[in-house]
Amino acid sequence: MVVVVRNTPRTDADVVDALGRLGVATVHEAQGRIGLLSARLRPIFRPARVAGTALTCEVAPGDNWSIHVAVEVARPGDVLVVTPTSACDDGYFGELLATSLVAHGVRGLVIDAGVRDVAELTAMGFPVWSKTISAQGTVKETPGNVQTPIVCAGAYIEPGDVIVADDDGVVVVRRLHARDVLAAALARVDNEEEKRERLATGELGLDMYAMREKLAQRGLHYEEYDPS
């Protein structure tokens, strides 16, 4: 009943890397404000940024066995995405597993649970987004699915989807939408640069975005301070 799916397709590397350069907030906006994982996932060191293709992995509570299974089907450019089958804060992952992943070209870890050896992971520069930091060890008794569609931290993720993660959090982009999202994100970035320059001179967003009329329609009005 537990399955490892081999040879799942990955998003093209050029698209993945380009999305990674843009960052989470831009990619999230460009695809219509969807795909964000819960903000309870935080990087174990900052600054951190990574993009890669999702290598998905389910783990039982307090049991990290299937992470070992996942390493075998990893490919360079993957980001390991781990979700527990029920909520758990144990330390599923540490220096040894990171060493193994790095040897197989995996770029980072996203896990809706805990990790440990964070000083060592920081020294290695291996980026991790986790729910918790915990030294609590795990057993190896109950394997979970690898490379099947999962829900991780509230987001639906399929193997090979793009994972972009930075100091703001983690976002997933569907594999088949990735090139379109990239195009939209690049257009957005150009637009933002111009806005930034105008705002830096003191121009008001109220004017730049022509908000005043709509605000008045929504009932906004101005009063002078009355000290009485």
Range 136-175, binding a second copy (CB under 8 A): 136-137, 139-143, 147, 149, 151, 154-156, 159, 166-169, 171
| Among the residue ranges 13-21, 115-123, 180-188, the one whose residues contact a second copy (CB under 8 A) | 115-123
N- to C-terminal Cα distance for the chain? 73
Residue of 183, 187, 189, 204 interacting with a second copy (CB under 8 A): 204
Residue of 55, 80, 82, 97 interacting with a second copy (CB under 8 A): 97
Residue of 190, 210, 227, 228 interacting with a second copy (CB under 8 A): 227
Nearer to a second copy (CB atom), residue 17 or residue 197 = 197
Q: How far is the CB of 178 from a second copy (least distance, A)?
A: 17
Tell whether omega for the bond before 43 is within 30 degrees of 0, i.e. cis. no
Residue of 16, 19, 54, 118 interacting with a second copy (CB under 8 A): 118
Q: Does 200 bind a second copy (CB under 8 A)?
A: yes
Q: Does 205 bind a second copy (CB under 8 A)?
A: yes
Phi-psi region of 202 (alpha: psi -120 to 50; beta: other; left: phi over 0): left
Phi-psi region of 7 (alpha: psi -120 to 50; beta: other; left: phi over 0): left
Nearer to a second copy (CB atom), residue 49 or residue 179 = 49
- Which uninterrupted H or E stretch holds 204? none
The letter for the amino acid at 224 is E
Q: Name the CA radius of gyration of the chain, rounded.
A: 21
**Contact yes or no for 83/58 (Cβ under 8 A):** yes
Residue with tokens 């089907």: 73
Which residues, other chains included, contact 202 with Cβ-Cβ below 8 Å and sequence gap of 6+?
none
Q: How far is the CB of 17 from a second copy (least distance, A)?
A: 18
Q: Does 62 bind a second copy (CB under 8 A)?
A: yes
Q: Does 102 bind a second copy (CB under 8 A)?
A: yes
